[in-house]
Amino acid sequence: MAKREVLLQSVAAVIFGLMCFAFFRFVYPSGFFQKEQAEGLFTLGSFVSYLTKPAWLVCYSGNVLMAFGGPSGAPFLITLILLFEWWLLTLVLKRFNVGGMASLYAFLPVMLEWGGYCYPTYLLRSILATIIALSLFLGYTCIKNKWLSVLTGLLALPLIYFLAGNRLNFFVLLILFYETGKEPKRWLYWGLLLVTGVFMPVWMMHFYSLTQEQAYLYPHNGLPSFFPPLLFCFSLLFLQIRKFRDMPIRVLPVIVTVCILLALLGIFIFLIADF
């Protein structure tokens, strides 16, 4: 990795971290952090109750993390989680051969996660679900054997629904984008992956005693929770344009990208924040 790229990533991470922490510490009302359920988490009955619904890992982890962080530690916790998500998104963009500007492009969905968390019903579980999907996808890209990747991709679908619920769709889209660019004309695999991903919630709804709508949306509350992964998928399509994918790290592109990111954050917070 070029020194200029390392410097850009380091500076961007530090500035983002300071801004994010300051916002959630001094601007965002501390009472909003209590929207996560932090009571009765450490009993056996409470833990088992999470297993009766999909996405149990992200739901339970989100509540536990906020219980440990509390209103005083929550700003630092949210900042670390968003930075971790940004790092994963940067690695994913590298898998799609995005050049030196990948670390800045990766902030696009993270800015929406930041703004989305200002929404009363936007919970930490939505961010954690995206992190689970990204982590499993990065593991998938490390598989070199063709048939093993097919088997892993299909078997991962019920696992990710079990752990992260609706972010199953995000995982499927990432694999489809990745595979179409890597090895064209694997129509049977793509079809199986898409059909299984679409119908997995329907097959699991009876097991979890959910309605069809709940099965497709769980565990997210409200439309804003779908914006970050959707924006990232659209970004992957946009970055197929070589001019943007291979854009070198120069002063003007960096300044323009940063301004776009800040404008996106400000607009999103203004539109959905409730404080």
The pair phi, psi for residue 153, each rounded to 5°, is -60, -40
Kindly report the pTM of this predicted structure. 0.92
Query: How high is the pLDDT of residue 168?
Result: 93
Q: Read off the DSSP letter of residue 222.
A: S
Q: Which residues of the chain have pLDDT under 50?
A: none
What residues contact residue 205 under an 8 Å CB cut-off, 6+ apart? 211, 212, 214, 215
Query: How high is the pLDDT of residue 74?
Result: 87
Other CB atoms within a 10 A radius of the CB of residue 46 amount to: 14
**54 contacts 162 by C-beta, under 8 angstroms:** yes
Q: Which of 61, 70, 86 is nearest to 33 (CA)?
A: 70
Query: How high is the pLDDT of residue 171?
Result: 95
Query: How high is the pLDDT of residue 170?
Result: 94
